[in-house]
Structures are given as structure tokens and as C-alpha cells.
Amino acid sequence: MPKARFANEILLHSAALAHLAQPFTSTTNLLTVVREQEYTSEADIYKSAGMAYIAPELREGTNELQLALENKLPTLLELTDLKGSLHNHSTYSDGAHTLEQMATFLRDEGYEYLGISDHSKTASYAGGLREGDVLRQQKEIDELNKKLAPFKIFKGIESDILGDGSLDYEEDILKTFDFVVASIHSSLNMDEQKATTRLITAIENPYTTMLGHPTGRLLLRREGYPINHKMMIDACASNNVIIEINSNPWRLDLDWRYVQYALEKGVMLSINPDAHHTNGYADMKYGVLMGRKGGLTKEMTFNTKSAEEVETYFRKRKEKIN
């Protein structure tokens, strides 16, 4: 390929056909613009088309051309915007590293806080925490918070959503957590109505702060159970529940195609690595990329908040229960 055509070829190979072929005036589409001449950069191509630069992640042929023409494209989330990491595991359940190792690693990477959310008691196959383990872990968190300040560990749990949609601890334990990630891990063979109702019941539980991996899919390994994404997102909007983008590359769940709808409904998303090892934190970059494909901004990403802001958010949310 002649060097002079490089920018043209990059655009042709980094965009869905729908992005290139969609007319943005009565007579022109980007394919026409690209064929007209050789450009020095992708930015030049968009400029020549009379619109703002569109990042490769957004070149899908949805509404990005219109937004670019109106200069209304979102400023997309960056990995460096993240200030902490929520939904992570330690040796209390099935993680490879201790609570202190998980915390100091994240602190040394420049983050302000760790949300620990080990498995709950129903997930016995994953070393889920019984009530006594929860209290023992929370005592250790109190000690580490003194030792590691200003770094902060938030007390969480990844609570299993049972078949009827309830969480698997009594209220006296649920109220000890700063935050609860509610996830389905068992009885995955459900039709859409059953799965959606099960999720919505958990979302309506006042102790649920965040919904974990909404469909349970494992890419290339296991289909997710079918859910009505819009009903699930609407329930999160009504109950002030955050949805995670589980950033483990096998999951990437919430799927990016529903990010835009969540944003329209005012639902915040959290880039959660679900790390079971200190190496797992690095997966947050995949979650950021998926969020960006859906138009996710820093403002709508929960873990771009500072430790202080997150602490206030969790406290105020808990105060509203009852």
C-alpha cells in the first residue's frame, strides 16, 4: 500500500460498514469522502466531511455521525480516570492473594481504594463467607484501614442471587457492608422471564448497591441466560443501582450495546475487574474499552469518584434504607 493512502485505509479498516455507508447528507457518505483523495490523517477525513473526529470505538453506524455533525460526541472515559477498583476477591474466598496484598498492590499502582467483595455463603464451591468469616474480614479491614490510610478498603460482598431473587444473608449481616454486589452464579438454566424477574427482585433489594455480570455469559464458552436488558436497566434506574461492566475478558458483561441505554436512563456504570489475583486489576482496561464503545463518560462511571466521594455515596445510600 502506498504510504499516502495509509489514513484512508485505516479508516476503512477500523469502522463498521454501517458507519462508512450511512449517508450523512442526501448524497454523501464516508466511503465517498475516502475515495475522493488521499488524506494525511483520519482527523482530516472527518474534517473534510464537515464533522468532528470520531474515535474508532464509536465507528459502528449507530448515531455517531449525527452527533459528530452537531459536535455533540461524548468525551469518552479514559483508563487514567479510574480512582479505585470495586468487586475483587481475596483468600477469604477464592482469590489468590490476601486482603493486604490486594490492597497494597492497588495502592502502589496509584489507586485510592479497593472494594473487596468476596463470595457469599451460598457459593460454597468458591469458599463463600459464612457470617463469622464476614465479621472476621471486616475486623481485618478496620485494622488495615488504620495501617494503610489514606488508602481505603470498602467492605463489600458478592452476594449470590438465589432462585427467588433474594440475597443470601439476613439483614443483620447485609447491613454491615458498605456495598453489596449482587450476582447470579447458580441455576443458570432459565427462560427470559424467569431470569429477568430474578434479577429485578435482587435489584429492588435495598441492600443491593451494584449488579454483577448481568447475564453470566462466558465468551466463547457459555451463553448468558436470556434477559430483558431494558427492563433490567429500568429497574436499576428506579432503584438507584449501579451496573458493573465486568471487565474480565471472558465476560465483558454488561454488553457494550446496552451502555447507551443505561446512560439515557441515568444509570451509573462501574468498571469492575472481578480480580481474583493482583494481575486481574489490569483487566479494567478491557472494561474501559467496552464502555467507550457504548459512549461511556467519566461522569457516568462510578469508580472515577474519589475515595471520599465513594464513602459518602455508600453512607448516604445506606441511610436511606428503612
Grid look-up 443483620 returns 172
Other beta carbons less than 10 A from residue 18's beta carbon: 12
CB 159 within 8 A of CB 180: yes
Looking at 8, 159, 183, 301, which residue binds Zn ion (CB under 5 A)?
Answer: 183
CB-nearer residue toward Zn ion: 8 or 246? 246
- Which helix (H) or strand (E) segment holds residue 271: the answer is strand 269-272
Determine the interface stretch with Zn ion among 5-13, 50-58, 142-150, 178-186 (rule: CB under 5 A).
Answer: 178-186
For helices 131-148 and 99-108, give the axis angle rounded to 10 degrees. Answer: 40
| Interstrand relation of 84-88 and 113-116 (parallel, antiparallel or unpaired) | parallel
Query: How many residues bind to Zn ion according to rule CB under 5 A?
Result: 3
- Which helix (H) or strand (E) segment holds residue 152: the answer is strand 152-160
Looking at 57, 158, 244, 253, which residue binds Zn ion (CB under 5 A)?
Answer: 158
The span from the CA of 130 to the CA of 275, in Å, is: 21
CB of residue 222 to Zn ion, shortest distance in Å: 13
CB of residue 255 to Zn ion, shortest distance in Å: 16
CB 315 within 8 A of CB 200: no
Under the binding rule (CB under 5 A), the answer on residue 274 touching Zn ion is yes
CB of residue 88 to Zn ion, shortest distance in Å: 8
Other beta carbons less than 10 A from residue 240's beta carbon: 15
Determine the interface stretch with Zn ion among 7-15, 19-27, 151-159, 161-169 (rule: CB under 5 A).
Answer: 151-159
CB of residue 157 to Zn ion, shortest distance in Å: 10
Determine the interface stretch with Zn ion among 33-41, 128-136, 274-282, 286-294 (rule: CB under 5 A).
Answer: 274-282
CB of residue 90 to Zn ion, shortest distance in Å: 11
CB-nearer residue toward Zn ion: 183 or 303? 183
CB of residue 209 to Zn ion, shortest distance in Å: 14
Determine the interface stretch with Zn ion among 31-39, 153-161, 170-178, 299-307 (rule: CB under 5 A).
Answer: 153-161
| φ, ψ of residue 318 in degrees (nearest 5) | -65, -35
Other beta carbons less than 10 A from residue 2's beta carbon: 7
Binding site for Zn ion (CB under 5 A): 158, 183, 274
